[in-house]
A and B are shown apart, each in its own frame.
Chain A
């Protein structure tokens, strides 16, 4: 019920945007720019690049608003644009997001590093930032952007199982980083 009314409010603003209303465009920007900027930040790990992605994504969203069919919420539609633009930005600076040796889905031992951990958001966030590009992208998409492995496979052009194994490696690496920083502190 709550979700329904929220979509209705958005639908009106989206319609005004379609008619080229600049104020409606700003309303959507205010509503989504921060969340979308952080999505891009997690994928690109670069402030300037994320701004470029955000600009590019909003412009392309306003231009292609006619292709948005209100099947999903405007937010998730926009998020997909931001994710694709961010992944492209990372691809530009590095040809392979997922290294070839990692593409073979192998068994990763499920060592649980997290049993004793008292996590803090800031600590996890910093650790994610320290991950290499390939790991960080898969982990962010799965953990924070809520994509499943099939969707991640689509976005990155890899198989679902590769996404799964890549996530496991990334997760393991992340916990290692957190343990290191914790013991160092």
Chain B
């Protein structure tokens, strides 16, 4: 059976295509293709495998997830060790002065007596330099073991200083307390100065003792 309609359509096939898509459609297809490409590449990256061959016996494969975990562990270990080292090196609180340690803890004290900060800085630097000077002497060699006594004395002064500092916040008579605090600091310097003088004297005597016999020896020969 002949289909005249079919024949007609075949003859005019081209003319039936009269619609056209919007010209922007290609751009939309392009962006969609890029998005899909990006989505395809993402999982491929994650699945990337590093494989290291040690001969034929040992085959060590590690993917990125493993590497990430390993890196995290290394980082945590490093942090832990650093913290531990810092703690080990940190000066024990008994060695430091209450003057210095209190500064961070109670800022309100400096609101009551603003000049205190300056005073503290001055005296603590003095005390510290004296202490350094003292530490240069080898006390045991010089036959002195009373250093502990001095340390105790200094610690007592330090604790009374802390007490005074606390009082400063509550008492209305700030001038008196301040005076007491400065006196406290001055006493410490005096104690240290006295100790230094004693040590210097002892050293001088010892030097004389060691040089004199030497001179004797040379004269006898």
- Secondary structure of the A side of the interface? helix
Which residue of the partner chain A has the closest CB to B6? A143
Contact B16 A144 (CB under 8 A): yes
B22, A51: Cβ atoms under 8 Å?
Answer: yes
Instruction: Check: A68 CB closer than 8 A to any chain B CB.
Output: no
A149 vs chain B, min Cβ distance (A): 12
Q: Is the CB of B29 within 8 A of A55?
A: yes
Chain A residues close to B by CB (< 8 Å): 20, 22, 25-26, 29, 33-35, 37-38, 41-42, 47, 50-51, 54-55, 58-59, 62-63, 110, 114, 119, 121, 124-125, 142-144, 171, 174-175
**Would you list 18 pairs from A and B whose C-beta atoms are within 8 A, ordered by A residue?**
A20-B37, A22-B30, A22-B33, A34-B17, A37-B21, A38-B16, A38-B19, A42-B16, A54-B25, A55-B28, A55-B29, A58-B29, A62-B33, A114-B4, A114-B5, A121-B12, A121-B16, A144-B13
- CB B39 to nearest CB in A, in angstroms, measures 11
Decide if A144 touches B9 in the complex (CB within 8 Å): yes
Chain A residues within 8 Å of B5, by CB: 114, 119, 124, 143, 171, 174-175
Residue from B15, B22, B29, B33 having most chain A Cβ neighbours under 10 A: B29
**Chain B window 31-55, contacts with chain A (Cβ cutoff 8 Å), 1 for yes, 0 for no:** 0110011000000000000000000
State in angstroms the CA–CA spacing of A25 and B20 once bound together: 18
Whether B9 and A26, one on each chain, are in contact in the complex, defined by CB atoms closer than 8 angstroms, is no
A146 → B minimal CB distance (Å) = 8
A124 contact from B9, B19, B21, B22, Cβ within 8 A: B9
A94, B47: Cα distance in complex, Å: 42
B19 and A29 contact, CB distance less than 8 A: no
